[in-house]
Amino acid sequence: MTTTYGGWAGYILRVNLTTKVITKETTETYHDYIGGMGIGYKVLWDDHVDGIKATDAENQLVISAGPLSGSGAICSARTTITSRNPVIRNHLITDGHFGGHFSPELKFAGYDAIIIEGKSETPVWLKIVDDTVTLEPADSLWGVGIFDTFASISKLMGQQAQIAAIGPSGEHLVAQSTIQTQGGHSAGGHGAVLGSKKLKAIGIIGTGTVDIAESTTNEQLRELDDHILGIIGANNNGVVPNQPQSWAEYSSTGSRWRGGPGVTWGAADNPVDVGETPWDDRQKVGMRTSMAEMYFGRDEANKIFKRPGGCHSCPIRCFCEVKNPKMKTEYNLPTENITNVCLGFLDPWYAMGKPSSGEKRTDIQTVGAYYMDDNGIWSAYGQLSHLMREFTARGFWEIILPAEEYAAINWAQYADLDAHFMQDFYTRIAYSEDYPGSNILGRCLGRGLHEFINEDGELYNVEDILNEVESPRMAELTFELESDANYDLVGKTYSVFLDKNMKVFNRSMVGGVHHASESAGQVGALLNTVFNRDPQCHSHINLINCGLPHAKIAEVAASLWGEGAFDPVQHYTAMNTSKAKFAKWCLVKNVLHDSLTLCNWMFPLVVSPDANRDYIGDSSIEAQMFSLVTGIETSEAELDAMAESVLQLHRALTVLQMNEIDQRNKHDVLSEWVYDLDHDKNFGDEGTIKMDRDDIQIGLDMFYAEMGWDKDTGVPTRATLEKFKLGYVADKLESLALLPA
Amino acid sequence: MITRRALLANGAKVAVGTVYGGTLVGFLTGCGSSDDAETPIVEVIPGGLMVVNPILCVGCRRCEIACSWSHGKSAVSPSTSRIKVAKNLNFGPHGVQPNYQDQRGEQGDSTIVPSTCRQCDVCMTVCPQKAITVNEETGARVVNDDLCVGCGYCADKCPQQVITIDKTTRKSLKCDLCEGSPNCAQVCPTGAIKFYTWEDAVAEVELHEKYLELV
């Protein structure tokens, strides 16, 4: 590295699996794009190829860290994975992320990113030990579950190796597959890309350092660390406890600050009674979150929760390390321990129909989590399980599946909420065509919903799609449930865009709802239109679900984005420019975090648990971290501008990949149920999250104006692109008639 | 012959200013010892040692970071940290075993057993440069960089394998108890790592040792 910057390791590895040539290039080329997601999008822009599929050899996959990874900055251990994605319509680019300890190890080895390109003829894995980088044969690992893959490579490399791998799901080119690291940390949607390249895993040992700028002292780093600890909350930055505690002015059942009296790490060898978790007790920060009771219910959690877990450098610990002895004794698994968070536990539960808390739910979630992770299956933020559950409730599988296959599936187990069902269910998905029999169920669930629907969200005949019939028949499914009557749907052709239980939010990308209108009205709705998959954006959630009284949240929101930026949840007012500014801010911060690479499930911290600060946080922490670590003095506004540049590039690349200038009507479109649910209520009534069609169009107008995008098309203008040093992007789009006049 | 258990059962304590030897000090420091309780190994002086409770450790590695931050050049890395989490993180102290799911580590029973310096005398004894001496105020065995030549004897012989040689400076990196205020303990989000006086350390060390064994 020729500069004295701190943070960046200085080099990027380019691994060509076709030629087996591995080269190093400087990271400085990408400094304007920060790191992480920024590197990924720039690489895919530079090397864009028209019309390729995610699993084609020409597709690249970028695994990238940011300048903060490994520096010790709080919550800075995310890894971003960027590539075309087979789960998305037109296989557009997405970025997925996992936590754990992978990206710090990558930095310690001396690299900011790995660019994977080409395709190997035989299975290989990538071995990185500092400067020594080799491709190793992986024939004996092909077909092996993720957990044993981690163990096998650790045995070869040394157990300090950090490893990312795909499971059988990725190997079988199942679109709904993950790339995973240590425990249940997984990035969704790109397992099949590595599978198509025959790259089973990457193992890293780094013995070097992440250097901090010479101008920065150790005392400054520690001081900033203390400052952050003084204002950070619990998971998703809940800043008040979930239940009343003696030290707390407020409590809120919506807060993820679950740790408190009555919460026990009951599966620990010596059970730990968490007790009160005062905000200023720095040695109890790691006990605050204790999320297990949110996933299992308190009684079950107190029995099976062993400790919280999570990522390198993060004191918050959102993962749940649980011990369910029945995994071994009743379900014949090789372990009784499992670690995960959120959809890792919820997807099996959703798929089985959401039984209430109790042992059956615990078994479903722990056994299901094991099979999902060992096979490397992605939930697509619940779309997988929503599809399974909804089609079962509607009796669709009996119509869709060949009689022989339907009869071979143990529906009695499913009806009985028997977790034994999980083994066959997830194996069908992971093994796809290699599963015995027709396996329409597994092949359909694993392929991604967008493949099976027409422009109106109606289902094609599933077998015709799987058999690639040129003019597939329609499935001829209709709405028949009693509850459909409330919406005048009975007898009408079934459409996933009309079914509120399917939760398809962005109908163009067929993306699942993820903190959209149910969380923040038009703000959530707008930011769910921009990304190609669910936006994984918690910038807004970290404010609105913090647990403080609404008046306080509204005051903070007004100070940042103007009056009326945030309505009470489920009591929404009409669109205004404050909401448009709020939505843009959410996305910019999201991109910033995915580039730095910092946890967007914790940052930004605009509120705090500190009553002495009037509960106000500090939105400039990211800039303070960046300045100290890199030595490049950068204000919050300057860093946000760098992130916005990446966001503009993201939009431009989507335009390029779709070869479509009309993003407004071809990308940023919401499903009908978003407007039509709660038939007895109007938009704006208390108690409904429904949106209004005209209001959302006004919202797009205002949002595009904030983003500097053309009102008619939703595409960045030349002026906007040049403002963000993306003139070359404007030139390319213009040459293809994809730039607004 | 006095066994460790017998010694503990008899309520033996370690007092400042006394020369102790044999099994108890061997146990506390992890140095190993002969069973000859009459053989002095270490003189107990003010201070003590850092021990991690594996039940409370949540694997965030903030202790490693704080150690990097608090010593000299601002370069963060497990390799420059004087506490070692990574080596036991994924599969426990014994590495990948055929029944790894039942062993320690994140991929096993989820128990993480960080290794800390027990401030024993081994490094001091083997150093050919006499570069490691006792800080009389803290009790820490500390490295004198002016004398250290980076030969690595101390790292090779360290019973806890927590000493490394800095690749850049070629100096030994050894826990110095941060001159009496260990940073690793200050940043631990669950209070898993604590400074114990010799008198208080027995139970904690015994708990820690339990988690170093094969399950």
- A98 three-class SS: strand
Residue range A214-262, pLDDT digits in tens: 999 999 999 999 999 999 999 999 999 999 999 999 999 999 999 999 9
Minimal C-alpha gap between B188 and chain A (Å): 6
User: Beta partners for A712?
Assistant: none
pLDDT at A619: 97
Q: What is the end-to-end Cα distance of chain B in Å, rounded?
A: 29
What are B9-66's pLDDT values in tens digits?
Answer: 444 455 555 555 555 556 666 665 444 444 445 555 567 899 999 999 999 999 999 9
Look at residue B8 in the predicted model and tell me its pLDDT: 39
Chain A residues lying within 8 Å of B110, measured CB to CB: 306-307, 309, 321, 323, 337, 339
**pLDDT value of residue A204:** 98
Best A307, A311, A625 member to test B by mutation, with max B CBs in 10 Å, is A307
The residue type found at A316 is I
Q: What is the DSSP letter of A482?
A: G
Give the strand pairing for A124-129 and B75-76.
unpaired
Token reading at A701: 């107008």
More confident position, A3 or B173: B173
Our CA-based measurement puts residue A630 at a distance from the nearest CA of chain B, in whole angstroms, of 11
Selecting from B55, B59, B76 the residue whose C-beta is nearest the C-beta of A270 gives: B55
Which of B67, B68, B88, B90 to probe by mutation at the A interface, max A CB count within 10 Å? B90
- Asked whether A113 and A8 are in contact (CB, 8 A), the reply is no
Confidence (pLDDT) at B69 = 87
Question: How many degrees, rounded to 5, is the angle at CA B197 between CA B191 and CA B202?
Answer: 85
Give φ, ψ of B143 to 5 degrees.
-95, 130
Query: Does the CA dihedral A150-A151-A153-A158 come out positive or negative?
Result: positive
| Main-chain dihedrals φ then ψ at residue A202, nearest 5 degrees | -130, 125
B215 at interface of A, judged by CB pairs closer than 8 A: no
Task: Report chain A residues whose CB lies below 8 A from the CB of B215.
Answer: none
Q: Which residues of A touch B60 (CB under 8 A)?
A: 286, 310-315, 317
Q: What is the dihedral of CA A239, A242, A245, A249, to 10 degrees?
A: 50
ipTM, 2 dp: 0.96
pTM score, two decimals?
A: 0.95
Model confidence at B138, pLDDT cuts 50, 70, 90, reads confident
Nearest partner of A526 among A381, A706, A729, judged by Cα: A706
Q: Which of B52, B115, B186, B187 to mutate to test the interface with A (most CBs of A within 10 A)?
A: B187
Q: Are B192 and B58 spatial neighbours (Cβ–Cβ below 8 Å)? A: yes
Residues A21-25, mean pLDDT to the nearest whole number? 98
Per DSSP, what are the bridge partners of residue B49? B196
To the nearest whole Å, the CA of A474 is away from the closest chain B CA by: 46
Q: Write down the H helix ranges in A267-336.
A: 285-288, 292-296, 298-304, 326-329
Going by pLDDT thresholds of 50, 70 and 90, the confidence category of residue A357 is confident
Residues 6+ apart with CB under 8 A from B128: B151, B153
**Of A684, A631, A722, nearest in space to A210 by CA:** A631
∠A86-A87-A92 over CA atoms, to 5°? 60
pLDDT at A78 over 90: yes
Distance CA A402, CA A657 (A): 37
Q: Which are the contacts of A172, defined by CB distance < 8 A and separation ≥ 6?
A: A195, A430, A431, A432, A433, A434, A446
Half-sphere exposure of A440 (CA within 13 A, CB side): 21
Residue of A nearest to B95 (CA): A159
- CA–CA distance, B105 with B103 (Å, rounded to integer): 7
Q: A168: pLDDT confidence band, cut at 50, 70 and 90?
A: very high
What is the model's pLDDT at position A468?
A: 96
Query: Which chain A residues touch B101 with a CB distance below 8 Å?
Result: 147, 334-335, 337
> Between A and B, how many residue pairs show a Cβ–Cβ distance under 8 A?
156
Enumerate residues 6+ apart whose C-beta is below 8 A from A70. Answer: A76, A77, A103, A104, A105, A106, A107, A108, A210, A312, B76, B77
Chain A interface, mutation test: which of B52, B67, B68, B77, most A Cβ atoms within 10 Å?
B77
A643-697, pLDDT tens digit by residue? 999 999 999 999 999 999 999 999 999 999 999 999 899 999 999 999 999 999 9
pLDDT of amino acid B47: 73
For A275, half-sphere exposure in the C-beta direction (CA atoms, 13 angstrom radius) is: 8
* Separation in Å, CA of B165 to nearest CA in chain A: 11
What is the average per-residue pLDDT within A206-212? 94
* Nearest-by-Cβ selection for B76 from A210, A265, A286: A210
Q: What is the average pLDDT score of chain A?
A: 97
- CB within 8 Å: B110 and A339: yes
Across the interface, whether the CB atoms of B107 and A183 are under 8 A apart is answered yes
Q: Which residues contact A106 (CB under 8 A, 6 or more apart)?
A: A9, A63, A65, A69, A70, A79, A112, A113, A114, A128, A162, A204, A206
Q: What is the sign, positive or negative, of the torsion defined by CA atoms of B100, B103, B105, B111? A: positive
Residue A594: what are its φ and ψ, rounded to 5°?
-70, -15
pLDDT in tens, B37-47: 444 455 555 67
**CA separation for the pair A75, A65 (Å, rounded):** 13
The residue type at A107: K
pLDDT exceeds 70 at position A587: yes
B147 touches A: beta carbon within 8 Å? no
pLDDT band at A43 (very low <50, low <70, confident <90, very high): very high
Closest CA to A447 of A654, A657, A142, A192: A192
Q: Does B69 touch chain A (CB under 8 A)?
A: yes
Which residues from chain A sit within 8 angstroms of residue B65, using beta carbons? 72, 313
Beta strands in A85-157 (DSSP E): 93-98, 111-117, 124-129, 132-137
From the candidates A225, A282, A312, which should be mutated to test the interface with B, based on the most B CB atoms within 10 A? A312
User: Which of A192, A197, A231, A186 lies closest to A118, judged by CA?
Assistant: A197
Confidence band of A497 (pLDDT split at 50, 70, 90): very high
Percentage of chain A modeled with pLDDT above 70: 100
Question: By CA distance, what is A183's nearest residue in B?
Answer: B107
Look at strands A111-117 and A61-64 and give their pairing: antiparallel
Provide, as residue numbers in chain A, all residues whose Cβ is less than 8 Å from the Cβ of B74. Answer: 6, 211-214, 216-218, 221
To probe the interface with A, which of B52, B53, B56, B60 has the most A CB atoms within 10 Å? B60
Query: Do A208 and B105 lie within an 8 Å CB cutoff?
Result: no
What lies within 8 Å, CB to CB, of A693 at 6+ separation is: A675
A216, A270, A308 ranked by CB distance to B74: nearest: A216
Q: Do A337 and B101 make contact, defined as CB atoms within 8 angstroms?
A: yes
SS3 content of chain A, % helix, strand, coil (to 5): 40, 15, 45
Pull the structure tokens for residue A267: 């599966």
Residue A209 to residue B76, Cβ atoms within 8 A: yes
* Cβ(A592)–Cβ(A69) below 8 Å: no
Partner-chain residue, chosen from B106, B188, B190, that has the shortest CB–CB distance to A183: B106
Contact residues, chain A, for B78 at CB < 8 Å: 108, 160
pLDDT tens by residue, A249-305: 999 999 999 999 999 999 999 999 999 999 999 999 999 999 999 999 999 999 999
For residues A32-40, give the mean pLDDT. Answer: 98
Q: A514-532 pLDDT, tens per residue?
A: 999 999 999 999 999 999 9
**DSSP, residue by residue, A377-403:** B--TTTHHHHHHHHHHHTTHHHHHS-H
A220 to chain B: closest CA residue: B69
pLDDT at B198: 79
Query: Binning pLDDT at 50, 70 and 90, where does residue A18 land?
Result: very high
User: Which of A4, A283, A306, A339 is best to mutate for the B interface (most B CBs within 10 A)?
Assistant: A283
Contact A286 B60 (CB under 8 A): yes
B204 and chain A: CB distance < 8 Å anywhere?
no
Enumerate residues 6+ apart whose C-beta is below 8 A from A559.
none
Going by their DSSP bridges, the two strands A79-84 and B48-52 should be labelled as unpaired
Q: Which two tokens stand for residue A713?
A: 């098309």
Shortest CA gap B159–chain A (Å): 19
**Nearest residue of B to residue A266 by CA position?**
B55
**Interface contact flag, B77 A308, Cβ < 8 Å:** no
Average of per-residue pLDDT across A362-390:
97
Q: Indicate the residue type of A497.
A: F
Contact A222 B77 (CB under 8 A): no
Residues in CB range of A555: below 8 A, 6 or more apart: none
For residues A162 and B107, the answer to whether their CB atoms sit within 8 Å is: no
Chain A residues lying within 8 Å of B56, measured CB to CB: 272, 307
Minimum mean pLDDT among A420-429, A582-591, B74-83, B110-119: which range? Answer: B74-83
For chain A, the farthest-separated pair of C-alpha atoms sits apart, in whole angstroms, at: 71
| Closest listed residue to residue A417, CA positions, set A452, A368, A465 | A368
Q: Which of B80, B91, B183 lies nearest to residue A209, judging by beta carbons? A: B80
Would you call B128 an interface residue with chain A, using a CB distance cutoff of 8 Å? Answer: no
Structure tokens at B191: 């209070």
Indicate the angle between helix axes A343-351 and A383-393, nearest 10 degrees: 10
Would you state the pLDDT for residue A435? Answer: 98
Q: Is B78 on the interface with A (CB under 8 A)?
A: yes
Do A431 and A442 contact (CB within 8 A), yes or no?
Answer: yes
Angle at A697 between CA A691 and CA A698, to 5 degrees: 100
- CB contacts of A304 in chain B (<8 Å) are none
